[in-house]
Amino acid sequence: MPNPILIVILIFYLAFTAVVAQASLLLPKTIKVDRAALTSEPPCDPKISPAWREAQVIDGVKIEASPGCNPDNPAWIAAAVKGTNNISMDTLMKTGLSPDTIIKTDDLDGDGDPDRIIIKLEVMELNGKSPDFPGILPTFDIAPGVQPGAWVFAPKTSGMSTENFESVRANPLLRLPAPVIRVEQGDIVQIILENTHYFPHSIHLHGVDHPFAHKEHGGNDGVPQTSEIELMPGERRIYEFQARQPGTMFYHCHVQTHTHLSMGLAGMIIVEENRPNNWLQTLNIGGGHVRHPSVAIREKFDQEYDLHYHAMDKELGDIIKKYNDPRLIARDMNQRYDITDSTEDYYTINGLSFPYSLRESLIIVKPDQKIKLRLLNSGGETIAIHTHGHHATITHYDGVEHNPVAQIMRDVFDIAPAQRLDLTLDTTNDGKHSYGEGDWLIHDHREKGITTNGMAEGGSMSSIVYTSYLGEDGLPKTSHFGIDLSNYFTQEFWQRRVPIWQDLDEVASLGSPAGQAINIDITTQNYLLNALYGLAAGLLIYFIFAKREYFKQCAMAAISRVRSDKGSKQS
Partner 1 sequence: MIKTIKIACLLTGILTLCVDATAQQSNSVEHEQHKTQNDKHHDHSGHSMSQESGAASDHLHEHNEDHSAVDKTHEHAIDHSQHSDESTEHGDLHHHHHMDHDHIMDHEGTMIMGQNIDKLPSSCKSISEEKEITVRAGRKYAAKFPGTMFAFDQQEWRVKPCSKVTFHFINEDQVRHQFMMHGLPKYLYKYGMFHLEVTGPKTVSGTIIVPGSDDTFLVHCDISHHMEKGMKAQLVVGKGGENIPSIPGLTPYNINDIYEAENLPKVSDKAEQSAVVRQITTALTKSDTQNYLMILIGALVGLLSIPLIKKMMPSKKTEN
Task: Select 62 or 217, whichever has its Cβ closest to partner 1.
Answer: 217
**Cα torsion for 30, 35, 40, 41, to the nearest 10°?**
120
Which residues are registered as beta bridge partners of 347? 311
User: Quick count: other Cβ atoms within 10 Å of Cβ 432?
Assistant: 11
Q: What residues from 338 to 397 belong to the interface with partner 1 (CB under 8 A)?
A: none
Q: What residues from 73 to 102 belong to the interface with partner 1 (CB under 8 A)?
A: 85-86, 89, 92-93, 98-100
Selected binder of partner 1 within 213, 497, 560, 567 (CB under 8 A): 560
| 480 alpha carbon, distance to own chain's centre | 30
Task: Select 366 or 547, whichever has its Cβ closest to partner 1.
Answer: 547
Selected binder of partner 1 within 540, 551, 563, 567 (CB under 8 A): 540
Which residues are registered as beta bridge partners of 417? none
Selected binder of partner 1 within 538, 552, 563, 566 (CB under 8 A): 538
Task: Select 19 or 416, whichever has its Cβ closest to partner 1.
Answer: 19
Q: What residues from 147 to 206 belong to the interface with partner 1 (CB under 8 A)?
A: 156, 158-162, 164-165, 170, 174, 190, 192, 194-198
Tell me how far apart the alpha carbons of residues 97 and 76 are, in angstroms, rounded to a whole number. Answer: 8
Identify the CA nearest to 209 among candidates 261, 247, 244, 234: 244
Selected binder of partner 1 within 45, 325, 484, 505 (CB under 8 A): 325
Task: Select 163 or 381, whichever has its Cβ closest to partner 1.
Answer: 163
Binding-site string for partner 1 from residue 231 to residue 270, where x marks contact by CB under 8 A and - marks none: -xxxxx-x--------------------------------
Residues 6+ away with beta carbon under 8 Å from 45: 69, 70, 359
Identify the CA nearest to 389 among candidates 439, 350, 340: 439
Which string of DSSP letters, residue by residue, matches 248-266? EEEEE--TTHHHHTTTT-E
User: Quick count: other Cβ atoms within 10 Å of Cβ 163?
Assistant: 16
Selected binder of partner 1 within 55, 229, 514, 562 (CB under 8 A): 562
Shortest distance, CB of residue 160 to partner 1, whole angstroms?
A: 5
Selected binder of partner 1 within 42, 112, 454, 534 (CB under 8 A): 534
Tell me how far apart the alpha carbons of residues 343 and 321 are, in angstroms, rounded to a whole number. Answer: 18
Q: What residues from 16 to 55 belong to the interface with partner 1 (CB under 8 A)?
A: 16
Q: What residues from 104 to 133 belong to the interface with partner 1 (CB under 8 A)?
A: 105-106, 116, 118, 122, 124-126, 128-133
Shortest distance, CB of residue 378 to partner 1, whole angstroms?
A: 21
Residue 110 φ then ψ, to 5°: 65, 30
Which residues are registered as beta bridge partners of 146? 143
Shortest distance, CB of residue 310 to partner 1, whole angstroms?
A: 19
CB of 53 closer than 8 Å to CB of 67: yes
Single-letter amino acid code for the residue at 489: F
Selected binder of partner 1 within 55, 213, 514, 557 (CB under 8 A): 557
Stretch in the footprint of partner 1 (CB under 8 A) among 40-48, 356-364, 424-432, 547-555: 547-555
Shortest distance, CB of residue 225 to partner 1, whole angstroms?
A: 22
CB of 30 closer than 8 Å to CB of 508: yes
Q: How many residues bind partner 1 (CB under 8 A)?
A: 97
Selected binder of partner 1 within 27, 507, 514, 554 (CB under 8 A): 554
| 364 alpha carbon, distance to own chain's centre | 22
Q: What residues from 259 to 318 belong to the interface with partner 1 (CB under 8 A)?
A: none
Selected binder of partner 1 within 13, 212, 501, 527 (CB under 8 A): 13
Which residues are registered as beta bridge partners of 102? 119
Strands 420-426, 370-377: parallel, antiparallel or unpaired by DSSP?
antiparallel
Stretch in the footprint of partner 1 (CB under 8 A) among 37-45, 227-235, 392-400, 473-481: 227-235
User: Quick count: other Cβ atoms within 10 Å of Cβ 132?
Assistant: 8
Stretch in the footprint of partner 1 (CB under 8 A) among 251-259, 287-295, 340-348, 549-557: 549-557
List helix spans (H) across 88-155. Answer: 89-95
Q: What residues from 490 to 529 belong to the interface with partner 1 (CB under 8 A)?
A: 515-517, 522, 525, 528-529
Task: Select 135 or 454, whichever has its Cβ closest to partner 1.
Answer: 135
Stretch in the footprint of partner 1 (CB under 8 A) among 457-465, 466-474, 499-507, 537-545: 537-545
Which string of DSSP letters, residue by residue, matches 299-312? HH-SEEEEEEEEEE
Binding-site string for partner 1 from residue 437 to residue 476, where x marks contact by CB under 8 A and - marks none: ----------------------------------------
Task: Select 17 or 479, whichever has its Cβ closest to partner 1.
Answer: 17
Q: What residues from 394 to 423 belong to the interface with partner 1 (CB under 8 A)?
A: none
Single-letter amino acid code for the residue at 373: L
Residue 239 φ then ψ, to 5°: -110, 120
Tell me how far apart the alpha carbons of residues 313 and 310 are, in angstroms, rounded to a whole number. Answer: 10
Shortest distance, CB of residue 164 to partner 1, whole angstroms?
A: 7
- SS3 for 432? coil
Identify the CA nearest to 177 among candidates 47, 288, 41: 288
Which string of DSSP letters, residue by residue, matches 333-374? IIII--GGG----EEEETTB-TTHHHHH--EEE-TT-EEEEE
Task: Select 226 or 553, whichever has its Cβ closest to partner 1.
Answer: 553
Strands 451-452, 392-397: parallel, antiparallel or unpaired by DSSP?
unpaired
Stretch in the footprint of partner 1 (CB under 8 A) among 226-234, 272-280, 473-481, 500-508: 226-234
Stretch in the footprint of partner 1 (CB under 8 A) among 204-212, 325-333, 370-378, 498-506: 325-333
